[in-house]
Amino acid sequence: MDIFQAVVIAIVEGLTEFLPVSSTGHMIIASSLLGIHKEEFVKLYEVAIQLGAILAVVVLYWRKFFDFRRWQFYVKLIVAVIPALFFGFLFSDKIDEMLESPTTVAVTLLLGGIVLLFIDKAFKNPTVEKVEDISYKKGFIIGLWQCLAMIPGVSRSAASIIGGMQQKLTRNLAAEFSFFLAVPTMAAATGYKLLKGADSLHAEELKLLAIGNVVAFIVAILAIKFFIGFLQKYGFKLFGYYRIIAGIILLILIYQGVIEG
What does 120-158 look like in DSSP terms, one character per residue?
HHHS-S--B-SGGG--HHHHHHHHHHHGGGGSTTS-HHH
Instruction: Please state, in angstroms and rounded to a whole number, the distance separating the CA atoms of residues 192 and 151.
Output: 18
Would you state the pLDDT for residue 201?
78
- Each domain of the chain, given as residue ranges in start order, spans 3-255
The confidence band for 197, taking pLDDT boundaries of 50, 70 and 90, is: low
Instruction: Please state, in angstroms and rounded to a whole number, the distance separating the CA atoms of residues 103 and 115.
Output: 19
Would you state the pLDDT for residue 225?
87
Residue 44 has pLDDT above 90, yes or no: no
Residue 116 has pLDDT above 80, yes or no: yes
Instruction: Please state, in angstroms and rounded to a whole number, the distance separating the CA atoms of residues 205 and 226.
Output: 31
Amino acid identity of 28?
Answer: I
Residue 109 has pLDDT above 90, yes or no: yes
- Cβ count within 10 A of residue 133: 12
Enumerate the β-bridge partners of residue 128: 169
Roughly what angle, to the nearest 10 degrees, separates helices 171-197 and 50-60?
Answer: 140
Dump pLDDT digits (tens) for 45-87. Answer: 988 898 898 899 899 988 888 888 888 989 999 999 999 999 9
Average pLDDT over residues 242-249: 93
Residue 172 has pLDDT above 80, yes or no: yes
Average pLDDT for the chain:
88
For residues 50 and 190, the answer to whether their CB atoms sit within 8 Å is yes
The three-class DSSP label of residue 169 is strand
Would you state the pLDDT for residue 213?
94
Name the phi and psi angles at 128, rounded to 5. -105, 115
Mean pLDDT is lowest, of 4-13, 65-74, 127-136, for: 65-74
Enumerate the β-bridge partners of residue 169: 128
